[in-house]
């Protein structure tokens, strides 16, 4: 596939492929139609033949080239597969496009400091596991690191002191930057305000701008409540923005999608933990009387 793509990338070779798609032709005719010298045309045709997209046969004094359609169909199928993957509903491509539209809209709105103050976002999830298990995932750094970023990021530094006045540091990188050699994708710092284990958590968190200073302050409140007969927890999250700067538009545009993805990762982590708990439970046996 790589050899075929390299061969077709040359405009002169692409022109020859287009001419051969009409019908097989000898070298001399192809050179004349392509308005090129015959030795150059021969070299291009040989490259296309090595890539498997054309074949040649000597007929009398002429060498006639013909197009092989199978490699082109294979390439077309692979390109279609890539396009379908990029366009799949709910996939990364759709998320990126939605974020891009949000960024443009927020940048237009960010005319002066305080432009987003009072903006709020609400999230709700029905999660497996008791409130005490969910609470641990909200305040323990090792568990927080499993979910506290959107899909394409990973936590690279995390401090969460679960007490009033405790520090919060959240630094993240691209998920594929496993050795930390790439640039930091973002960093936020904050402070814990209220801690009621298993019930309520509140904190302030401010993303830092690349040039220094905070983009805005997010006031985040998380409420937990038990649900259903099977151990479960309802989680309600409220984000409220203050101190927004003109440069905060890109950050604000990503809150709804980014934190929503994080909560989906939290649900997946809790589901895995709950499945593990169920497997560890001894099987129940019935006793006849």
How many alpha carbons lie under 13 Å from residue 152 in its C-beta half-sphere?
10
Domain with CATH 3.30.530.20 in the chain: 112-276
Nearest 5°: the CA angle 104, 109, 111 is 120
In terms of Cα–Cα distance, which of 32, 49, 33, 31 is closest to 41? 31
Helices (H), 51-196: 69-86, 92-109, 131-139, 141-144
Q: Which residue has the higher pLDDT, 275 or 160?
A: 160
Length of the chain: 289
pLDDT band at 210; cut points 50, 70, 90: confident
Q: How far apart are CA 137 and CA 134, in angstroms?
A: 5
The model's confidence at residue 288, banded by pLDDT at 50, 70 and 90, is very low
In the DSSP assignment, the letter for residue 148 is S
259 and 100 Cβ atoms separated by less than 8 Å: no
User: What's residue 280's pLDDT?
Assistant: 65
User: 63-102 b/e with 16+ CB inside 10 Å = b?
Assistant: ebbebeeebeeeeeeeeeeeeeeeeeeeeeeebeeebeeb
Q: How far apart are CA 192 and CA 170, in angstroms?
A: 13
Provide the pLDDT confidence category of residue 211 given band limits of 50, 70 and 90: confident
Q: What is the pLDDT of residues 155-197, one digit of tens each?
A: 999 999 999 999 999 999 999 998 888 899 999 999 999 999 9
Residue 88: per-residue pLDDT: 82
In which residue are the tokens 């074949």 written? 55
Span 233-250, pLDDT tens digits: 999 999 999 999 999 999
**pLDDT value at residue 155:** 93
Q: What is the pLDDT of residue 278?
A: 63
Please report which confidence band the pLDDT of residue 40 belongs to, taking 50, 70 and 90 as the band edges: very high
User: 155: closest CA among 182, 133, 134, 184?
Assistant: 184
Residue 263 structure tokens: 């909560």
Q: Where in the chain is the domain with CATH 1.10.10.10?
A: 2-81
Helix or strand run (H / E) with residue 30 = helix 27-34
The closest of 270, 282, 261 to 132, measured between CA atoms, is 270
Fold annotation for 2-81: Arc Repressor Mutant, subunit A (1.10.10)
Mind listing the pLDDT tens digit for each residue in 92-128? 777 778 778 888 999 999 999 999 999 999 999 999 9
Given the DSSP bridges, would you call strands 200-207 and 25-26 parallel, antiparallel or unpaired?
A: unpaired
CA-closest candidate to residue 144, choices 78, 88, 192, 214: 192
Q: Is the dihedral of CA 268, 270, 271, 275 positive or negative?
A: positive
> Helices then strands (H, E): number in the chain?
10, 10
Sheet containing strand 153-160, edge to edge, reads 120-128, 232-242, 217-227, 200-207, 186-196, 167-174, 153-160
Is it true that domain 112-276 has CATH number 3.30.530.20? yes
Q: Is the pLDDT of residue 284 over 60?
A: no
Q: Three-class SS of residue 239?
A: strand
Among 255, 287, 281, 1, residue whose Cα is nearest residue 116:
255
Mean pLDDT of the chain: 91
């Amino acid at each position: 596939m790589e050899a075929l793509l390299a061969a077709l990338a040359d405009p002169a070779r692409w022109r020859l492929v287009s001419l051969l798609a009409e019908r097989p032709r000898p070298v001399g005719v192809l050179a004349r139609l392509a308005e090129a010298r015959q030795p150059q045309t021969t070299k291009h045709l040989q490259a296309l033949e090595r890539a498997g997209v054309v074949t040649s046969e000597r007929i009398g004094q002429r060498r006639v080239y013909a197009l092989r359609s199978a490699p082109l169909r294979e390439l077309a199928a692979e390109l279609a597969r890539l396009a379908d993957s990029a366009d799949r509903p709910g996939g990364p491509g759709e998320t990126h496009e939605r974020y891009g539209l949000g960024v443009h809209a927020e940048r237009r709105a960010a005319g002066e400091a305080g432009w987003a103050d009072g903006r709020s976002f609400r999230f709700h999830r029905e999660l497996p596991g008791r409130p005490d298990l969910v609470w641990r995932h909200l305040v323990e750094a090792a568990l927080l690191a499993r979910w506290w970023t959107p899909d394409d990021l990973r936590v690279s530094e995390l401090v969460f002191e679960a007490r009033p006045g405790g520090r919060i540091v959240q630094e993240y990188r691209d998920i594929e930057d496993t050795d930390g050699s790439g640039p930091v994708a973002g960093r936020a710092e904050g402070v814990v305000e209220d801690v009621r284990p298993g019930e309520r958590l509140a904190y302030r968190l401010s993303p830092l701008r690349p040039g220094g200073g905070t983009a805005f302050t997010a006031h985040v409140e998380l409420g937990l409540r038990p649900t259903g007969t099977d151990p479960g927890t309802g989680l309600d999250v409220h984000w409220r923005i203050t101190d927004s700067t003109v440069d905060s538009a890109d950050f604000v545009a990503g809150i709804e999608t980014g934190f929503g993805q994080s909560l989906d990762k939290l649900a997946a982590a809790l589901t895995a933990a709950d499945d593990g708990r169920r497997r560890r439970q001894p099987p129940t046996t019935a006793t006849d009387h």
